[in-house]
A and B are shown apart, each in its own frame.
Chain A
Amino acid sequence: MSNPLEDMSKPDVIFCIGTNMTECHPVAATGIKKAVARGAKLIVADPRRIPLADMSDVFLPLRVGSDTALLGGMAHVIARDGLMDESFVAERTTGVPEFLEHIKQMTPEWAESITGVPAADIEQAARWYAQADRGAIYYTLGITEHICGVDNVQSLSNLALMTGNIGREGTGINPMRGQNNIQGAGDAGALPNNYPGFQSVIDPANQAKFEQAYGHAVDLEKGMTKVTALELCGDKIRAMLIDGENTVVTDPDRQHCEHALRSLDHLVVIDLFLTETAALADVVFPATAWAETDGVCTNTERRVQRLRAAVPPPGEAKPDWWIVSQIAKRCGIPGFEYESAKDVFNELCSLSPLYAGLDWDLIDEGRHHWPVPYKGHPGTPILHQDEFENGRGVFKLIDYRDPAETVDDQFPVWLTTGRRLQSYHSRTQTGRSAGIDYLLAEESLETHPDDVAAWGMADGDWCTMSSARGSVRIKIKATNRSPRGTVFCSFSFNDVPVNILTGSGYDPVTQTAELKVCPVRIEPIRDGVTAPS
């Protein structure tokens, strides 16, 4: 996030797109609810009528995968109506003439033809956001899990740059991170292109720094992403270590994923449970869990915080860092003589400019947002206050692209996937917590009542849902939260392994999978047999 969580109650216009925040980041959503209670305007763009839409002032129910058209249409209106922040654009950005030329054709009527959102609502949203004293954008995986995920983010960036809604309190472009330490995994260098602290692996200065620190030559090329690695399992990739991830269930195209892991010569998994992924491993190590582990995590607002152990682990379970260090030692790799999580974290701080001002003791109360460039620095709650990372903010020229697969006669319905309030990911944790089943015992396919009727079914009936990659059985739930022609379910339940269906394409830059769009066919099951629709 460019701005801290406490800013979420401060904007006077809030634009939420592709984020089901009340279910996926409920505590963050309380800030938005406070702003709305104060009188802030709320714009919500989402294919589904999510709970956030119920409290919005304008709701933009766009067709799945049409975000760049919607955002291009908004940019067009802002430019057309003279609502740009001219001085911000002049002082802080570059590339505006080309950008303005590029969006000239993107009228709201054109955007309506692609998104299905009435042009008048697009204009209203654009005007409110542009005229805000403090306009803030919040997004999540509804923006990024597309083949055009980067285009979507850059389209949002264009809006913020046009209107100067960035670099100040209560503004910004704010992605919400989905896992407790997904930010920290990146901070710590678990990326194919970056060392710890997002230092590029192809920068010779950084290469020299880490060669010296680790006492070993470093690779001069970027590594491959996990998505590519899974493609090449059994081919170029032969041995894999997976820490705490149920890849088989949470990644797209489950059959492909399982096949990939089975093709490895050697798979080591570190986890809490014998997950579907761990079950494929050659060696499985028992890790200590949350509440058993001392350590550090970074939240979505770049706040660095301490995790503390409260109870002893079961049996012989060990912290992840200890397990990895022991494997490293037995591989003969020097430098893994850590005695505590504190040793590891302090080494990270010594190598990451973003953490240079931090150490284990300083983060005790979680007061710092990175970057913290030197000891005594108070941290950086708001990014881009004076200038952007590379100087000026650059307008990007984005064109609308269709999703990797679009609906047709064979697969006429859009499936979009996501999460639910009461469950988390593949339910390895929430599914094992007493009481959760009282509220959410099974998965169901949220479908517009008109579609349910048109497909000859009733609420609660079972159906077969198929894509080009496979099919699953799932129970139908009739609800107005889904628009006609689009269905929704989560991937949390192992008995409805919806990621068998997904995996139609990936963003070419980030290789993030298009989990939010998947054309499917729905057929009722009668007497245990799938009936052709």
Chain B
Amino acid sequence: MSVIEDRTTAELQIDGETVVFSPVETLLAVARRHRREVPTLCYDPRLDPFGGCRLCVVELEGVRNPVASCARAAEPGMVVRTHGEALDKHRKTLLEMVCSENRQIDVEPLSGYASQELAELADRYQARTGRFQGRQSGKSKQDDDNPFILRDYDQCISCYRCVRVCAEQEGDYAISVKNRGFDTQITVEFDGLLKDSSCTFCGQCVQTCPTGALADRKALRAVDLPGEVVKTRTICTYCGVGCSVDALTKGDKLVGIQPAMDGPANQGALCIKGQYAFDFVQHEDRLSTPLMRGDDGELHPASWDDALDRAAQGFLDARDKHGRHSVYAVASGRAPHEAAYTTQRFIRAGFWTNHIDNCSRA
């Protein structure tokens, strides 16, 4: 076996194909980069490898048992097989075993970003066989009435992605594992409610759950709305971090938010505001027509023509009566660039003044 010393150009073999890998890659990463469909349930690329579900096992020449590819660093000269009769049989058996511990396999896609993972794998490996019947694991926390996170642990498969995302990605350490073995139960301190724990309702546990055991209660309000769920990539509207999100819509209705796992500023992270505080968009209080103050001193709905004329005339009047420096504009720190840009041009080119500011001083 020739070992290549320069690890930046190191090579290994996957299913007979010689491929190049970088020094920090795992076998799973290398395999997926080369379009091998290696199944996983406990894996989230943002988290440290865990090696729990064992679906990602691959055969490694010179090693007796298959190895968990998510947790095995790639090394030069390795000879790896990602598929084969034995591996596929193990994967199918494992999936049949997992399916046997849950109430249902199919869950509503609005449950969360990763919620379809188990159902998709069960279909791919034809694992909906009803084998391995027995006791079911996990117990739903039905008394947690928080409006954001459904804790339907009957559907839990103990992959610990929620525990790990809460610790490693969010740094809140709210979720933990109680008991052991088949009695394992996802919980929080003293088995309490999320609101009494260190949970910040960022929703990360919901979005990484592969079975809908933790689910997005707000999005699930729209289960019965007609139509497919459409995702539109945009940037969160709250603080200055600029997290990438997908706005979930059904028809004309904004029904939920999911973090963009490849968002450059957030890498899939969100907070309670970005994740859950979106109802203002389609709130009944939204202004839907221009308003003008009438002779009665009250604001009344008006046509765009009338309102725009009135608005323009007021600025022209001020300029004519009090000079160009009597006009002022405050741009928004919440609206896009185009709002601020047009506003400053309006002031500078229209009124020959630099009387423009934004709200960053408050």
A272-327 with Cβ < 8 A to chain B: 272-274, 278-279, 281-287, 289-301, 303, 305-312, 314-321, 323-327
CA–CA, A250 and B170, complex, Å = 30
| CB–CB A512/B361 < 8 A | yes
B113 touches A (CB below 8 Å)? no
CB of B289, distance to nearest CB on chain A (Å): 5
Nearest A-chain residue to B310, judged by Cβ? A283
B84 touches A (CB below 8 Å)? no
A223-B354, A236-B322, A316-B304 known; A187 vs B264 contact (CB < 8 Å): no
**Complex contacts, A154 vs chain B, CB 8 Å:** none
A177-208 with Cβ < 8 A to chain B: 177-193, 195-196, 201
- Residue tally, chain A, CB below 8 Å to B: 151
CB of B286, distance to nearest CB on chain A (Å): 5
CB of B282, distance to nearest CB on chain A (Å): 7
CA–CA, A305 and B265, complex, Å = 10
A-contact bits for B257-284, CB 8 A (1 contact / 0 none): 0000001111001111110111111110
A410 touches B (CB below 8 Å)? no
B169 touches A (CB below 8 Å)? yes
| CB–CB A282/B310 < 8 A | yes
B143 touches A (CB below 8 Å)? no
A237-B328, A283-B314, A291-B278 known; A225 vs B357 contact (CB < 8 Å): yes
| CB–CB B240/A317 < 8 A | no
| CB–CB A434/B336 < 8 A | no
**Complex contacts, A424 vs chain B, CB 8 Å:** 238-239, 273, 277
Partner pick for A266 among B233, B291, B314, CB 8 A cutoff: B314
CA–CA, A215 and B277, complex, Å = 43
Partner pick for B358 among A191, A219, A294, A367, CB 8 A cutoff: A191
CA–CA, A300 and B360, complex, Å = 13
| CB–CB A219/B287 < 8 A | no
CB of A260, distance to nearest CB on chain B (Å): 11
Chain B interface, DSSP helix/strand/loop, else mixed: mixed
Partner pick for A28 among B241, B302, B345, CB 8 A cutoff: B241
A-contact bits for B327-355, CB 8 A (1 contact / 0 none): 11111111111111111111111101111
A104 touches B (CB below 8 Å)? no
Nearest B-chain residue to A271, judged by Cβ? B287
| CB–CB B307/A283 < 8 A | yes
Which of the listed residues B200, B265, B302, B328 has the most CB atoms from chain A within 10 Å of its own CB? B328
The 9 closest A-B pairs by CB, nearest first: A315-B288, A295-B336, A299-B242, A33-B171, A177-B240, A223-B354, A244-B332, A266-B314, A435-B147
B binding-site residues for A, Cβ under 8 Å: 146-148, 168-171, 195, 200-202, 217-218, 230, 232-244, 247, 249, 252-254, 263-266, 269-274, 276-283, 285-293, 299, 302, 304, 307-319, 321-322, 324-350, 352-362
